[in-house]
């Protein structure tokens, strides 16, 4: 069973019937280095379970200078045509995919050969890594476990006064011009410039050490302890005055941080699903042996309320972050 959570975007409900990929990804770092690869992909949607990669790009950086680049269009399996809104967003056409694209298998193999053992840098880079990890796992049974740095995370530390930290926001903040966003190679170049700008703000020796979780992989907090910053409220945001519950292990940030982001735009984090809940954000349950059929009690309760007619949406973490930013 699938529920539509946005036009063309679906959330799996009977997840126990779908084989889950246990992603053994590298370490998440937050610091400044001189040698690395910047990566970016374009896709047909937000969820690697249902959507496909259509473009992969990377820049090899040595001593903070770009020394090589990789870019390719990708033909997904059973490809027919791109949705018009994807072509409008990326500038990539069906004709280009058919004429210039290579198979996903060849693309991910070539990509891994290019990045080799480098630390990976990207903006909201877990999104890119998840797609690439799953593709590499599917076609080669290898793991994409390079350590990685997320410029989105660093930007939130460097610019805490800003409401949003999307690439387009940072391009405006840093007065970066001459680039077309949503082209993966151009996005790599912009991400590299953003990384350099963030280094200027925080200093080359800055490093953030992410807090460790407890033995169960969970961050304990009470949503009632979250204090919203009303100066950050965005009344036009889709999440304003909406009620949120989080379940499972989040990959990009801990539950308390996610709840704080919701509160700061005017939403309401909750401890459990009830009649007021509008959104349930679902992370991973792989680390909890007691979970049955791949779903937590919160997820089961949310599904029951959906079936009874309550307007409650179930979001993956990536979709939540994409809509939040």
For the domain covering 213-324, report its CATH number: 3.40.50.10190
* Token reading at 211: 């807090």
Helices (H) and strands (E) in the chain, counts: 10, 13
> Residue with structure tokens 């050490």?
209
R_g over Cα of the chain:
20
Assign 214 to helix, strand or coil: coil
**pLDDT tens-digit series, residues 196-249:** 999 999 999 999 764 444 444 444 667 777 878 777 788 888 898 999 999 888
pLDDT at 52: 95
Tokens of 18: 């779908």
DSSP for 134-157, written as a single string? HHHHHHH-------EEEHHHHHHH
pLDDT of 266-301, one tens digit each? 999 999 999 999 999 988 654 444 445 667 889 889
The CATH number corresponding to 28-202 among 3.40.190.10, 3.90.1150.10, 1.10.3720.10, 3.30.420.10 equals: 3.30.420.10
The DSSP call for residue 293 is T
Full-prediction pTM beyond 0.75?
A: no
Rounded CA separation 300/200 (Å): 47
Sorted by where each begins, the domain ranges of the chain are 28-202, 213-324
pLDDT tens sequence across 7-64: 343 443 333 333 445 688 999 899 999 999 999 999 998 888 889 999 999 999 999 9
Which residues make Cβ contacts (< 8 Å) with residue 88, sequence separation at least 6?
none
Q: How many residues can be counted in the chain?
A: 325
């Amino acid at each position: 069973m699938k529920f539509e959570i946005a036009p063309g975007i679906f959330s799996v409900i009977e997840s126990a019937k779908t084989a889950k990929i246990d992603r053994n990804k590298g370490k998440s770092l937050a610091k400044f280095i001189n040698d690395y690869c910047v990566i970016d992909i374009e896709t047909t949607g937000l969820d690697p379970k249902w959507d496909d990669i259509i473009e992969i790009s990377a820049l090899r950086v040595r001593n903070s200078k770009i020394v090589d680049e990789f870019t390719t269009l990708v033909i997904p399996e059973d490809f027919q045509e791109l949705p018009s809104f994807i072509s409008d967003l990326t500038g990539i056409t069906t004709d280009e995919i058919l004429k210039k694209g290579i198979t996903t298998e060849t693309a991910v193999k070539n990509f891994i050969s290019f990045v080799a053992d480098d630390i990976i840098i990207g903006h909201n880079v877990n999104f890119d890594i998840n797609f690439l990890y799953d593709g590499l796992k599917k076609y080669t049974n290898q793991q994409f476990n390079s350590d990685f740095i997320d410029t989105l995370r660093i930007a939130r530390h460097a610019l805490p006064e800003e409401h949003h930290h999307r690439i387009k926001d940072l391009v405006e903040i840093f007065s970066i011009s001459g680039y077309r966003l949503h082209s993966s190679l151009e996005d790599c170049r912009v991400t590299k410039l953003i990384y350099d700008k963030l280094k200027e703000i925080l200093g080359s020796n800055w490093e953030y050490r992410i807090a460790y979780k407890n033995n169960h992989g969970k961050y304990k907090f009470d949503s009632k302890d979250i204090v919203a910053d009303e100066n950050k409220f965005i009344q036009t945001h889709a999440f304003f005055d909406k009620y949120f519950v989080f379940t499972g292990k989040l990959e990009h940030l801990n539950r308390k941080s996610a709840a704080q982001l919701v509160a700061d735009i005017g939403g309401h984090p909750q401890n459990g699903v009830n009649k007021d809940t509008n959104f349930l954000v679902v992370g991973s349950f792989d680390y909890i042996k007691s979970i049955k059929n791949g779903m937590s009690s919160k997820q089961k309760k949310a599904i029951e309320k959906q079936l009874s007619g309550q307007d409650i949406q179930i979001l993956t973490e990536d979709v939540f972050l994409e809509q939040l930013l």
